[in-house]
Structure formats: structure tokens, C-alpha cells
Amino acid sequence: MADVRLEITDGHGRRVVRVDTPVFTIGRRSKSDLCLAGTDVSRDHAQIACDGGRFILRDQQSRYGTFVNDQPVVEKPLAHGDRIRLGRGGGAELLFLVDEVGASTPSGTSRAAVSSVENLRQMAALLEGLRALGSGHVLDEVLTLVLDAAIEVTGAERGFIMLANAEHVLQFTLARARGRVTLPGKTWDTSLKIPERVFTTGETQIVSDLRDGDLAAAHLGTVALGIRHVLCAPLRLVRYLHESGAAPEPRRIGVLYLDSRDRGILLSPTARTGVETLATDAAIAIENARLYRETLEKARLDQELRIAAEIQQGLLPEPRYVGKGLEVVGASIPCRSIGGDLFEYIDLPSGDFGFALGDVAGKGPPAALLTAALQGMFMAHAASEGGPAATLARVNQALMRRAVQNRFVTMAYGIISPAGQLTYCNAGHNPPMLFTRGGVLRLEEGGMVLGLFGHAQFAQATLQLDPGDVLVVFSDGVSEATDVAGEEFGDDRILSCIGENLHLEPAALLEHLLAGVRQFSEGTIQRDDVTALVLRYTGT
């Protein structure tokens, strides 16, 4: 058996076509076995007929003639190494090659060497691609390497990587052509049916002629380009599961699509095996690059959140404040990088000291945005005539004008005079605890949460502090911190945590409370922002 090929050199580069039909047609007509463009090529230019082991070239009354080794011919038996030219030159040149299987002629040996060199080149390209896959981090680079390797291995003219989007629809991700060039544009004339089928079934598909059968009607555009031969392989991702025993579950992420005008080696079993090997490793590399990119994006987001967190902490007052007759210390620990709790101190024009603790419903960035706005609103109204109730009524109105639907705020605001007179208003906040010699009081006077009802009314209460009294204001992140069993820290634990340690300085008391919460909820994920404020009235 002879392996007969034509090596074609033209404007598209060099490619090899197998002569494997009894009558092999050459011409501009798209149905030709070898379809060539060019002004000198007639629609039916020439044919090669196999006649008892011999191959005879016949000119088909072409306009510009057929030449073998620069001699015009009408009919000529071809020999290995003959150069065939169609027309006046400058167009395509075809080299006629015959490999006799088992041939022992010296030229046969060299041809076999050429063929194995070609195989080696294929393998080298494949290996280069695979090696690169291990180190590639950038998605575009990985895709380019994969596609170039696939084009090299198969001898295809064009290659495409189509990746599935979130809706499982295939989209062109990269198009490359022989010679390692990127095809410009966003969409190209390729089969749509074949990639979809390959993506759905997970089976590699090789189409030796797009004009065959049911494919023809769907591929008019592609066939018009002269494209006939297609190899399409799925990009299959084998996920390695952590649990042993579970079978790895393959997931398809897209397809590798190669096509060509000439069949070349595109349709050979070597090409198929090569591409399938490449496709499996490529899928892993593509997924890795994708994950890497997501990680980078996440890292950038994390960095932004870290900066936001610094800004948020910077917006809070210095934690410790020592004023006339009192000392106070506060802390806010968001459960995510930024949170929805705040505390505030203010020196009022009257010489009194104001302190507030607020909790915006929700957590994370959405709550943090509202917290910043709340802080501004509070400070704008903190010195309102009429005391804490008037302030919170105004903050409520301000929130009603601005606030996001159904987002509310709980807040406790108190004002202490140097003589120890405390006036406070509690707007739907966990009642602060006042530890006095006579027992613990809960500060409940006030009104409903802020930001939900414009008609809400607020009241305030006044009481006299004695030196040594300790006031603890906290967010529900303290009282509702849970342990591994799901039990809550609760008011009772706050009471004992503080009540048994009233001899400590405010800073130490606060640390004791926070440590108590930390230890209690050890092994769980902090679910809410934890904010607390400890104030001791020392007296004048």
C-alpha cells in the first residue's frame, strides 16, 4: 500500500493532504478534494487518478494550464518528488510524495525519516503545551498555549477555544490561526452545531466533510470559506474530591475546536489522541488560571475592605476618654471586616458629656455605609435642645428621609452632667445596665427603633449617679453571641461578668467582658458585630 500525499505551499503556509480517492480532484470548486483559491486556478483544474498503482495527473482543460517540474502537461504519471504548478506561477505549488510501506529504496528510508520527524515534532509541540500548562497562571496565556499546541499537533488551519458561561452557553474565548497568530474579531464562521453537540455529549467529534448529510444546511457559511474538516474535543475537568470513595465527577467547561480546508493530519488518529490528551490537561490548567484570577480579584476586594475597615475604625473616637467626673472606654469588633455598630463621645457646649452606642440592622458593607451616615446625622443633632430624646427624634426623621427600606437602627444616647445627672433615651436598643450599690438598673426609657416610623415618639429619663456607679452599654452581638451548642451569652452572663469585677478600671472591665464573650463563643464563627462601652462615674 502506498501512502500518497500532496504537500501544498501557498499563501496560507504549508500543509499536507492525503490523496486517498480513486479520482482526486483539484480546483477552485468547493467540492474539489483539494480546493485552492487563486486567479490562475480553474474551477475544475486537474485530477489525479489512481491507475493500477500508478498516479496519473490529468489537466482538465484548465485556462492557465498544469505544469510538472515546470513543463506543461496534459496527462502525466507522477513520481515521488514531482512539483506540480497550477497556472502561471505565484499561486499554489504542490509536491507529490509517495511513501511505499516497507519500501527499501534509499529514498524510501529518507521519507520514513521525514515522517517520524514529523511525529516527533508533534510530540514535542504537545509536550511543550503540557509543560506550559503546569506553570501558566494567566488565563489568556494558558488558552493561547493550548490552542497553538493543538493547531501544531493537528496541522489545522484555525483553532478556537469556546468556554461555557454561567448559563452553560458556549462562547468564543480565543481564536488562533496557524503561525501563532490571533484571529481578530469577536465571532467567526464555525460550526455551532458541532461544538454544542460535543459539549453536551462529551464525545470528541471528527467531521471529514462538512458538506455531508445533515451538517450541510447548517454550515453554508463555513463551507463557503472552504472549511471542510473539523476536529472538536471537549474540555473535560476531572474534579478531585476531598472525600475518598466518592467517584471524581467530570465537568465540561468548554470545547477545543479545530478546522481546516485540507484534511492534512487533522483527521488522523494521532491528532485525535493528541488533542484529547491536551484537552484534559488544558481543562485543568484553564480552571486553575480561572481560580487564580478569581483569587486575585478577591485579594483586591479584601484589600479594599481592609482599607474600609481602617477608615471605619478611624471614624470611631479614641476608645478611652477621661472627662470631668467620669471615665469611659469603648470597643467595636465587627464580625466581618467592617460592620454596622458604632459608639460616639461628645463634649457638649453645656459642659456635659454625651455618649452613644448604635447598631444598624445587618452586617458587612451595606450596614457599614448606613453606619457612616448615621454617625453624621447623630453628630449633627447631638447637641439638640431638649436632650437625648429630641436628638434621637431628629435622627429618626433624618433616617426616614434618607434610609433604605426596612433598614433600621437601634441606639442609646446618654448625657451626664459633671454633678452626675444622667439623662438618657433608648431607641429600641438592648437596655444598658447601670450597676449601683443598690443593684442593677436597666435603662429602658425611650422609644422604638429609628428609621422605620416617622411618627415615632421618644421619651427620656433622668437619674442621679453616685460615684462608683458603672454603666455598661452593649450591642446585641454581645448578648447574642453563641457557644458551640448554640446557647446565647445572654444578659445574665454580662451581669455576672461585670458585677463580680466592679473593682476593676473601666478598661479592664471592658476587656474582661470581651474576653468572656470570646471564650464563650470559641470554636464558632462570630455572627454579629460586638460593641460595648463601659463608663464609670467617679464624681467630682
- Interface positions with another protein (CB under 8 A): 361-363, 405-408, 410, 427-431, 446-449, 452-453
Nearer to another protein, 65 or 362 (CB): 362
Kindly provide the residue ranges of all beta strands, DSSP E only, lying in 404-519, ordered along the sequence: 409-416, 421-427, 433-436, 439-442, 446-447, 461-464, 470-474
DSSP annotation of 192: S
Beta carbon nearer to another protein, 233 or 449: 449
3-state SS track over 462-494: EEECCCCCEEEEECHHHHCCECCCCCECHHHHH
The least distance separating another protein from the CB of residue 437, rounded to whole angstroms, comes to 27
Q: Which whole-number Å values give the CA distances from 437 to 424, 441, 463, in the listed order? A: 20, 11, 14
Q: Please name which of 449, 452, 453 lies closest in space to residue 430, comparing C-alpha atoms.
A: 449
Distance in Å, CB of 358 to another protein, minimum: 13
CA angle (104, 107, 113) in 5-degree steps: 90
**381 in Cβ contact with 415 (< 8 Å):** no
In the bound state with another protein, the residue whose beta carbon lies nearer, of 312 and 410, is 410
Question: By C-beta, is 284 or 452 nearer to another protein?
Answer: 452
| Polymer length in residues for the chain | 540
Nearer residue to another protein within complex by CB, 159 or 477: 477
CA distance 193 to 211: 14
Nearer to another protein, 66 or 410 (CB): 410
CB of 449 to another protein, least distance (A): 5
- Least distance (Å) from another protein to the CB of residue 301? 19
Beta strands 93-100 and 2-10, pairing class: antiparallel
Cell representation of residue 118 = 514529523
Q: Output the smallest distance, CB 374 to another protein, in A.
A: 14
Cell of 145: 498555549
Least separation in angstroms between CB 430 and another protein: 6
Kindly state the smallest distance separating residue 316's Cβ from another protein, in Å. Answer: 21
CA gap 458, 452 in Å, rounded = 13
**Alpha-carbon distances of 375 from 337, 343, 344, rounded to whole Å:** 18, 9, 8
C-beta of 250 vs 454, nearer to another protein: 454
Q: Which residue number, 341 or 344, has a Cβ lying nearer to another protein?
A: 341
Q: Shortest gap between Cβ of 423 and another protein (angstroms)?
A: 18
